[in-house]
Amino acid sequence: MDEAAPSGNGMLAVIGLSRDLVEQVTADFGLAIAIVNGDRHFVVAGLCDGLVLAEARFHDLGAVRLARLPVETPSHTPVLAAASAGFAKRLLQIPDGRLLCPVLSAIDACANQRVRPALDALARQISQPMNWALCMEVIRELCPDVVLEIGPGNALARLFAEIAPHIRVRASDDFRSIDGLLAWIGRFG
């Protein structure tokens, strides 16, 4: 992904504005929405010069919070179309088959039952916006006993706890060891 992106890019969290406003500002400054975390919670990406101008506009429009993210790759934007294509080619080596459990696409929360569609979605999300808000809504509707966020940080676990306070949720980064994580999961099995 880093090789496919030109230098001088970044990401900015924008909280408190409608999607229509965020889309208008990103279009004005050559940026793109990269992640949808909620109705009024977005991450935009693109060239740093555009981010600086957009940040000022978002502030003037009344954004509740603006935060530059420590990321230089404009992930989940059309800038990375070549990276998506290259990754998709590599994934063709993995045979298709039925998955043990459905895997949600981060793009549209589609529940993939087979390997090939899940891998296709994985490759596409490199250059298409991720809609975590929709994914979290689908997970909430599935009524799981417990949710575990795997990956760096715990932002999604915190967001999920807000929309589904009745479902236990943690992030893998919350634990000091794999044994602690497994013990927590074991309490619900």
Residue 70 in any domain: the answer is yes
Instruction: Output the DSSP codes for the chain.
Output: -TTTSPSSEEEEEEESS-HHHHHHHHHHTT-EEEEEEETTEEEEEEEHHHHHHHHHHHHHTT-SEEEEES--S-TTSGGGHHHHHHHHHHHTTSPP-EEEEEEE-TTT--EEEEHHHHHHHHHHTTTS-EEHHHHHHHHHHH--SEEEE-SSSSHHHHHHHHH-TTSEEEEGGG-SSHHHHHHHHHTT-
Structural domain of residue 177, as residue ranges?
Answer: 143-189
Domain stop point among 24, 59, 76: 76
One digit per residue, the tens of pLDDT, for the chain of length 189 reads 777 888 899 999 999 999 999 999 999 999 999 999 999 999 999 999 999 999 999 999 999 999 999 999 999 999 999 999 999 999 999 999 999 988 999 999 999 999 999 999 999 999 999 999 999 999 999 999 999 998 888 989 999 999 999 999 999 999 999 999 999 999 987
Domain stop point among 18, 48, 76: 76
Residue 4 in any domain: the answer is no
User: Residue 23: which CATH number?
Assistant: 3.30.70.250
For the whole model, what pTM was predicted? Answer: 0.89
Residue 52 in any domain: the answer is yes
Residue 132 in any domain: the answer is no
